Copies of this chain bind each other. A is one copy, B any other.
Amino acid sequence: MNGAESLLSSLIDAGVDVCFANPGTSEMQLVAAIDKIPGMRPILGLFEGVVSGAADGYGRMADKPAITLLHLGSGFSNSMANLHNAKRANTPIVNIIGDHATYHLPLDAPLTSDVPAHAALTTDWVRVCSSAQSMGADGVEAVAAAMDGRQANVIVPANYAWTEGGETASPLPTPKLKKVCDETIAAAADALRSGENSCLFLGGKALREEGLVAAKRIESATGARLIHEVFPARVQRGGGRPTIERLPYFGEVASETLKDIKHLVTVGTKAPVSFFAYPGKPGKLWPEECAVHGLATRQQDQIGALEALADYLDAPVIGSAEKPPLPEIPEGPMTAESVNAVVANLLPENAIVSDEGTTALAFSYHFFDSAAPHDWLALTGGAIGQGLPVAVGAAVACPDRKVVSLQSDGSAMYTNQSLWTMARENLDVCVVIYNNSSYAILNIELMRVGVTDPGERARSMLDLSNPTINWTGIAEGMGVKANRATSTEEFTALFEEAMANKGPRLIEVML
């Protein structure tokens, strides 16, 4: 077998069976290998940002990597924004990046660029294959690295891909979770029991159901507040699962939320900082006199640490909480909140929500505490264009679950090609586009830097009207059935119908 075939067969043996792909000429041997060797499902994305975002959504839900297939430095650079988000989500991903034949690189052909330097920007795990013989081993090492919660970037020179002599490598054991030591548990317990105001600040895997259950036990034993990071990779919510606060986005509001905290214990995340700096405003969002205690990093066993801490505290096991009431659906003109209230009411059991709603979801997040059980996937790295691709990947990972993509319009434009993949793969995704014809968050940010009366030139950089995008036209152009809703009643009927039927669907909400 050639190098490409040995890489493919090794990845498949290691349990990887989905490839989000946008190949080019230098990857044709890998395409041929996928064709020849059964076991890898190729899914085409018509832009690399779709490919990488889908791999992120897949990895968050499957807890194992998909591979991507990317074309040289330029193809990789198109994937980088969503790989940035995936890095911040600690999503397992194996990127297979084709490069020119090693002897072709010095000729500096038009598409030549420094692929290893590109690859190093999204992860510290970069492997340039050095022979056909080693490619199988490179593949399984990459899978093991990914299972440790990161991206593994494998660069495949074309000549090694087509050279014979490849060998299928045996899968490596999945890396063990790194346990938190007893001293750290005891120190966190002391802080939380100090009698001073304390907070358990949660992110990463701590937001899975078992982590939240343990956190609730700790809350009941110590009175610590439970707050989660602003943009979590995946939170298990609804259906009577433990509910916890979300830290507000804007720094000054977050600081206010935390102002009385004396002990902040972090699990699966770091102590919170402001998303951006603003003149005269603090970057660190916890009070100066507050002590920060790290219980578990994202590289450690976060759920295990919470459970060990709860046990150490002799915290009782808590029964199911009383589910808060479902949000009432406001009367009157349709707003983001009325739409979100409908979604929360009608969300099916075990749905997956891909949240890139930005301002449209700012005041509705808590609505979903009372919804049916679901997983909530947020924009982890702030690089917009994540929501639609993550919905693609989540739907591939969980074909029996409904995916609801709550999506702002400006961000949706970045990776609108995702809609085509939804149609091609007949994915069970319902996209709700909040069409407010604006980068609404930036209008707020412009005010925050002191421009309260922007002129035409400033407005022209933040406004998406003139022309107003018709998402129904775009979606149908890519093969996705779509409708516009102009009232809450219309939206309710359309969303009900979408929930009752499988397959891709887009509802454009005119705000």
Proximity string of chain A (410-435) to chain B, C-beta cutoff 8 Å, 1 when within and 0 when not: 10011011001001100000000000
Pick the contact of A469 from B81, B383, B478 — CB < 8 Å? B478
Within 8 Å CB of A80, what residues of B? Answer: 74, 77-78, 80
Closest B residue to A81 by beta carbon equals: B74
Check B460 against A110 for contact (C-beta < 8 Å): no
Q: Are B46 and A413 closer than 8 Å at their CB atoms? A: yes
* A442 close to B277 (CB less than 8 A): no
Q: How far is the CB of A484 from chain B (nearest CB, A)?
A: 11
Chain B residues, Cβ within 8 Å of A113: 84, 121
A74 touches B283 (CB 8 A): no
- Tell whether A446 is near chain B: CB-to-CB under 8 Å: yes
Write the nearest CB–CB distance from A277 to chain B, whole angstroms: 4
Q: Known: A23-B442, A469-B420. Is A114-B104 also a contact (CB below 8 A)?
A: no
Our pick among B40, B118, B273, B461 for the contact of A21 (Cβ within 8 Å) is B461
- Chain B residues with CB under 8 Å of A78's CB are 49, 78, 80-81, 385, 414
Decide yes or no whether A101 CB sits under 8 A from chain B. Answer: yes
Q: Does A449 contact B (CB under 8 A)?
A: yes
Instruction: Establish whether residues A35 and B458, one from each chain, have CB atoms under 8 Å apart when the complex forms.
Output: yes
List of B residues within 8 angstroms of A350 by Cβ: none
- Complex Cα distance, B439 from A23, in Å, reads 10
In the docked arrangement, what's the CA distance between A158 and B283, Å? 13
Interface string of A106-132 (1 = CB under 8 A from B): 011111011001101100000000000
Nearest B-chain residue to A381, judged by Cβ? B110
CA distance A446 to B477 in the complex (A): 28
Beta-carbon contacts under 8 Å, A342-393 to B: 380-383, 385
Are A469 and B477 also in contact (CB < 8 A) when A78-B78, A442-B23 are?
yes
B420 adjacent to A417 (CB under 8 Å):
no
Check A417 against B424 for contact (C-beta < 8 Å).
no
Q: Which of B24, B28, B449, B475 contacts A162 (CB 8 A)?
A: B449
With contact pairs A32-B446, A104-B274, A113-B121 given, residues A410 and B46 touching in the complex (Cβ less than 8 Å): yes
Asked if B107 and A451 make an inter-chain contact with CB atoms under 8 angstroms apart, the answer reads no
Question: How many angstroms between the C-alpha atoms of A159 and B277 in the bound complex?
Answer: 8
Residue A332 at the chain B interface, CB threshold 8 Å: no
Q: Is the CB of A446 within 8 A of B31?
A: yes
A436 to B201, CA, bound (A): 53
Q: Are B413 and A417 in contact (CB under 8 A)?
A: yes
- Chain A interface residue count, CB cutoff 8 Å, equals 100
Taking a contact as CB atoms under 8 Å apart, the answer to whether A110 and B477 are in contact is no
- A458 and B46 contacting across the interface, CB-CB below 8 Å: no
Cα A69 to Cα B41 with chains together (Å)? 39
Residue A110 contacts which of B31, B88, B472 (CB distance < 8 angstroms)? Answer: B88
Given the interface pairs A29-B449, A35-B455, the reply to whether A46 lies near B158 with Cβ below 8 Å is: no
Q: Which of B118, B382, B477 contacts A121 (CB 8 A)?
A: B118
Cβ-closest chain B residue relative to A100: B277
> Are B84 and A270 in contact, with the CB atoms below 8 A?
no
Residues of B close to A75: CB separation below 8 A? 81, 383
Give Cα distance in the complex from A109 to B381, angstroms.
9
Q: Determine if A287 is an interface residue (Cβ-Cβ < 8 Å).
A: no
Is A284 engaged at the interface, CB distance under 8 Å to the other chain?
A: yes
Contact in complex: A470, B461 (CB < 8 Å): no
A209 to B28, CA, bound (A): 39
A226 to B163, CA, bound (A): 38
A510 → chain B, closest Cβ, in Å?
14
A residues apposed to B, CB below 8 Å = 21, 23-26, 28-29, 31-32, 34-36, 40-42, 44, 46-47, 49, 69, 73-75, 77-78, 80-81, 84, 88, 100-101, 103-104, 107-111, 113-114, 117-118, 120-121, 158-159, 162, 231, 270, 273-277, 279, 283-284, 380-383, 385, 410, 413-414, 416-417, 420, 423-424, 441-442, 445-446, 448-451, 454-455, 457-458, 460-462, 464, 466-479
- 6 residue pairs, one from A and one from B, having the closest CB atoms: A467-B479, A473-B477, A74-B383, A35-B458, A101-B277, A77-B80
